Structure 1
Amino acid sequence: MLPLYITSGEPAGIGPDICLSLANRTDERPIVILADMQMLHQRAQNLGLTVDLIEYCGQDNTSEQGQLYVEHVPLAVPAVLGQLDANNAAYVLEQLRRSADYAMSGKSVGVATAPVQKSIINEAGIHFSGHTEYYQEFAGVPRVVMMLATKILRVALATTHLPLRDVPDAITSERLHQVIDILIHDLKTKFKKDHPHILVCGLNPHAGEDGYLGMEEIDVINPVLESYRSQGVNMSLSLPADTLFTAENLKDADAVLAMYHDQGLPVLKSQGFGEAVNITLGLPFIRTSVDHGTALSLAGTGLAKSSSLHVAVDLALELARQ
């Protein structure tokens, strides 16, 4: 049975810690951590954990509790808890490269990712916007969609890691069509929503208030939404984001499309931080991720919560079954 790969992320952060917690699981297919083997041994000692780390050589069986499959990826320099080192930027990206290559070549069902630190990768002279953009480029697809989900809410993003001043120019008809096509397709195929009900946030306060607070809804967003509604898609026109996320509005919705990162994700994370999962829609393979960052100050302390990684693994395995 094909494995699911887990990238351990930034070695100075909590990624290795939460990956070690996966040794408490028993799953139907191999779960393989991409990480420096010695670093994981050391981190387990820091945490007072007894974990049997097994070098993965294509085993077709699942590991038992207390065991963890690892594919060794060598660090450039030893990792120091809580201290970023640009010398290990290539180590982090090698995890991503392998995970994408295995998924694209049919050697795995996909990947779940622990957090990385974008700043230190860029400090190393490597342009890096994030996991989502990396996997999009590797897969050679024109557009992917970031969606975060809890048990009661799914929020997809029209734009992802952009400065706020750049967002209005990025909200084009072409982008919206690409994002909505992917969102509808994956809600149907991955989440088995035959007729998905999608609510859409306006870009401006009060969804532009008939042009008084901005013209993007009138000129760009609503014409695109009308084109889907005319085809029978159960989709709202642009709605004021400050009232869209009420329980009454969300009760029948399968997903919300937000125009930018901090429009939709604060609401979702306030409802389920630590229990949410990040899914990249539009890729030719499964990719899920945690909903949090590297938490450098918690590395090696035993205080990091691993629940989001477990939810990400659960969802990846569920999608693989489907």
Structure 2
Amino acid sequence: MLLRPKSVLKSLARTDYLFQETFRGLQRGGWMNWAAISTMTVLLFLFGTSLQVSWQVEGMLNQFGSQLVISTYLESGVGADTLTEQVSQLPGVVSVEAVSREQAWSQLTSDLGLSNISNAIDQLNGNPLVDELKVKARDTQQVPQLAATLKNLPGVDEVLYVSEMIQQLRDLNIGLQWASLVVVSLLSIAATTVVTTTIRLIAIARRQEIEVMQLVGATRIWIYLPFLIQGAVFGIIGAGGAWGLLLAAQQGLRSVSTGNGQPSFIEFLANGLQLSSHQWMVLPCSLVLLGTGLGVLGSLLAVEKAVAAR
């Protein structure tokens, strides 16, 4: 079915009108536009950061799986070989692996992606780790009782097993999610308020035009649409700014961690914040959706108040 030339021209004229009114409204917003965009950018940056941290903790949880290994950390100066034979004879024990403090340090630096091990040892005045026994239980029901028995052995400082570590990480993840929810909620209210104030000022400046449009029979949707597009523009620009800040932060952390040649928590953080191919798609889309939604919501509230006041 062919489109009629008149209908095409009418559609183009309407589109041109919307773009012109949106651009004109942004010009009238002045410095308030930057206030709305900057608030939106900060909000979306913190939202993206909290989302990345949550993904990182969940990845650590998934790596544990359903192992039956009990990590038994010995007191400083106690060698793992001195307790290996005694622990292997305990009921419910399938195998015992002795891990010296040197092996544990080498594995830790490898897991964290650290490259210069000697500098790390010098900074910490020596290897801070202790010897460890990895005790594998026969089944999950025997793990708590076996852990209690190991805890009471002389020379044992601390006993941890998977369920405890998973629970600790889950508690940490829940706490981070609640803290992020509170911060993001407060900033969302602030961003919506700034957008509402900005759009309302623009609507007040156009009050005569709005009255004329109402008198000639323009629909509410047609009156609202330029303002809603302006709010969406605030959200999209804020999402772009937040995404740029996230990329810059990752690149900055990576440069700092590799530039000074010394391993640190920054290097671990930079490696942990790397995104998978799926997350590279989800994160920017989430930023755009949240930013656009808040921008449209703020604009809708502003126009409702402005139109209702007439």
User: What is the TM-score of this pair, normalised by structure 1?
Assistant: 0.21
Task: Considering Cα pairs closer than 8 Å and 6+ residues apart, tell me whether 1 or 2 has the greater RCO.
Answer: 2
